[in-house]
Amino acid sequence: MDAAARAWVDSVLASLDVRRKAAQLVFPWMWGRYVPTGDAEWAMLRARVEDA
């Protein structure tokens, strides 16, 4: 990472409150395979992202 990118990262992290910093560490676990948008699994995965 170059100096400009590192400065941007540092500025963004400095602007976040503790809750948002902690949220950067939390993410839903999902398979990395294709799931069609009409599939029930797609709806479940979408809900995990939107409701997080």
DSSP one-letter string for the chain: --HHHHHHHHHHHHHS-HHHHHHTT------SS---TTSHHHHHHHHHHHT-
Q: What would the pLDDT profile of 1-52 be if each residue is shown by its tens digit?
A: 899 999 999 999 999 999 999 988 987 777 788 999 999 999 998 998 888 6
**Which pLDDT score is estimated for 52?**
66
